[in-house]
Amino acid sequence: MRGSTEGATVSYKEALRVRTLINGYNHISVAQVLFKIGSLNSRQNNYTDAKQLFEEYTRIRAEEEDDPDEEMAQALTLMGDLQKETGEKSKAQINWMSALEIYQQLGYPDNHPKLSKLRARQKTVPFGYASRKSVSDFSVLSFFGGGSQAGG
């Protein structure tokens, strides 16, 4: 297993180098590689690096004004998991809420396993400082022009 993750890391770093040279660092194709490297770091319990990579991924996606998709929801879910592990429970809740909103916007039914798992994650962490409305204000979807807005 270790050899395969080391090989994947080398391949992803090369892909990151090439995509950065071709498209520039703030490009969606670079963000996609950052997502893959972040996922790999997460599986290796390298929480600090994984969290930074997911944060960079969401920053690039927001700057590119790319529509939220399943990959974004996965990144927010994983980032929330990492934030829970590192004690940033309020941030975890916000990211899980944003991921849930993306899945709903993509048309996932309320009883879909991904939504059920996100709701279960939310129940494991108390979240008393913000109401549902204020959580939407912090939602990553606001970067993409989405989120829960009255009349919108």
Residues spanned by the domain of 54: 1-65
CA atoms within 13 A on the CB side of 119: 9
- My answer on whether 26 and 39 are in the same domain is yes
Q: Say yes or no: 71 and 41 in one domain.
A: no
End position of a domain, from candidates 65, 92, 116: 65
In a domain, 147, yes or no: no
Last residue of a domain, one of 65, 88, 115: 65
Give the single-character DSSP code of 144. Answer: G
71 and 57 co-located in one domain: no
Number of domains in the chain: 2
User: Do 18 and 82 reside in the same domain of the chain?
Assistant: no
| Amino acid (one-letter) located at 83 | Q
Domain annotation covers residue 152: no
* 112, part of any domain: yes
| Judgement on whether residues 136 and 73 belong to the same structural domain of the protein | yes
Tokens of 94: 């916000």
Query: Over the stretch 94-129, which tens digit does the pLDDT of each residue have?
Result: 999 999 999 999 999 999 999 999 999 999 887 654
Query: pLDDT of 41-68, one tens digit each?
Result: 998 989 889 999 999 999 999 887 778 8
